[in-house]
Amino acid sequence: MITRVTHQSTQRAALTNLQATQSQLAQLQQRASSGKMVTKASDDPAKAADAMALRKEQQAAAQYSRNVQDGVSWLTSIDTAINTSLSYLNRARDLVVRGANSGATNAEAREALAVEIEGLRGSLAAQANTTYLGRSVFAGTSDGPAYTQDTVTGDYTYNGSPGIVERRTGAGTTVRVDADGAAVFGTSNDPDAPDASVYALLTDIAAKLRAGEDVQSDITKIDARRDKMLSEITGVGARTNQLESAKELLGHKAMSLKGDLSAVEDIDLPATLIELQMQEVAYQAALGATARVLQPSLLDYLK
């Protein structure tokens, strides 16, 4: 059986082929200009889904990286504050050692020692109230200052909350980024208590110096408080190392995800340009063929 081919059906077929060639050309031009294989989900649903999943991972990794950097800044602030506090406490210890040698100090000299120790107490209070981005680094989850001073008694009170501040560095990993102010600086206003605050201790020492009392035993108390500060610094260093390791891993992951995403959606530019040139030639040929098919037929002249 012979299939009848009319001039009109030939025209329709030619136009359909031309439109298909034109569509392929437009798609290649879009890829070449954007550098992407997939610019919308309909281009390749499977690759589009993969690209969306990879971008979601990239966003999560970027947030974790920001968390890590924020955590490092918190811990750096803490490290600086405790080391500065240690230098003040070491100076106070030197003054107490000098004051303990009662034979070498008169009342005027002991008063000078007491005044300097009180100054160091104020400097230590300032370090205990160190903040990062408006948040106290020694007050737990509290937004207020870690320590406040009673204007009447002069006593210092710890105001920190028992909660801790953490930063998430991975899907199931968190790192503490604050410090226990109560452990570092103490809380009790009783200078003889095991948890005596450094402020109560220095206040008591200053009073003893003015009264001409022995301060030899207070050297041991200062050493105990200094040991607690050193212990906290060790913990801060360990947590900083955790964050630095997480930072390195996240950097590697970011590079890996970037490569994976490129493999999914980026074009092979040289190959795409060659394909584009070939498609342009095919389109020009299709245009020529279609123009000939669309020439008027004998029936057009007879109408």
pLDDT tens figures, 128-138: 999 999 999 99
> pLDDT tens-digit profile of 77-105?
999 999 999 999 999 999 999 998 866 57
Give the three-class secondary structure for 77. helix
Query: How would you class 175 by CB atoms within 10 Å of its CB: exposed for 0-12, middle for 13-18, buried for 19 or more?
Result: buried
Q: Are 250 and 61 in contact (CB under 8 A)?
A: yes
CB atoms within 10 A of CB 258: 12
Helix, strand, coil percentages (3-state) for the chain, rounded to 5, are 70, 10, 20
pLDDT of the residue at 104? 58
189: its two tokens: 């206003």
pLDDT at 301 over 50: no
Query: How would you class 210 by CB atoms within 10 Å of its CB: exposed for 0-12, middle for 13-18, buried for 19 or more?
Result: middle
User: Closest by alpha carbon to 50, among 61, 37, 63?
Assistant: 37
For 50-133, strand residue ranges (E) read 131-132
Q: Assign domain 54-259 one CATH number from 1.20.120.1200, 1.10.3720.10, 1.20.1330.10, 2.60.40.3080.
A: 1.20.1330.10
User: Closest by alpha carbon to 30, among 272, 229, 217, 196?
Assistant: 272
If phi > 0 it is left, if psi is from -120 to 50 it is alpha, else beta; for residue 31 that is alpha
> pLDDT tens-digit profile of 189-228?
999 999 999 999 999 999 999 999 999 999 999 999 999 9
Q: Are 208 and 219 in contact (CB under 8 A)?
A: no
> pLDDT tens-digit profile of 36-64?
666 666 667 888 888 889 989 999 999 99
In angstroms, the CA 92 to CA 122 distance is: 12
> pLDDT tens-digit profile of 241-293?
999 999 999 999 999 998 887 777 755 556 555 665 666 666 666 666 666 65
If you count DSSP H runs as helices and E runs as strands, how many of each does the chain have, helices first? Answer: 8, 6
Pick from 90-99, 100-109, 166-175, 294-303: least confident: 294-303
Model pTM?
A: 0.77
In angstroms, the CA 56 to CA 30 distance is: 25
CB atoms within 10 A of CB 191: 20
Residue 148 β-bridge partners: 157
Domain ranges of the chain: 7-35+267-302, 54-259
47: its two tokens: 């690759």
pLDDT of the residue at 143? 87
User: Closest by alpha carbon to 44, among 269, 256, 274, 266?
Assistant: 266
In angstroms, the CA 217 to CA 193 distance is: 14
pLDDT at 178 over 90: yes
In angstroms, the CA 68 to CA 87 distance is: 28
The overall average pLDDT reported for the chain is: 85
Instruction: Give the relative orientation of helices 198-211 and 107-128 as an angle to the nearest 10 degrees.
Output: 170
pLDDT at 145 over 60: yes
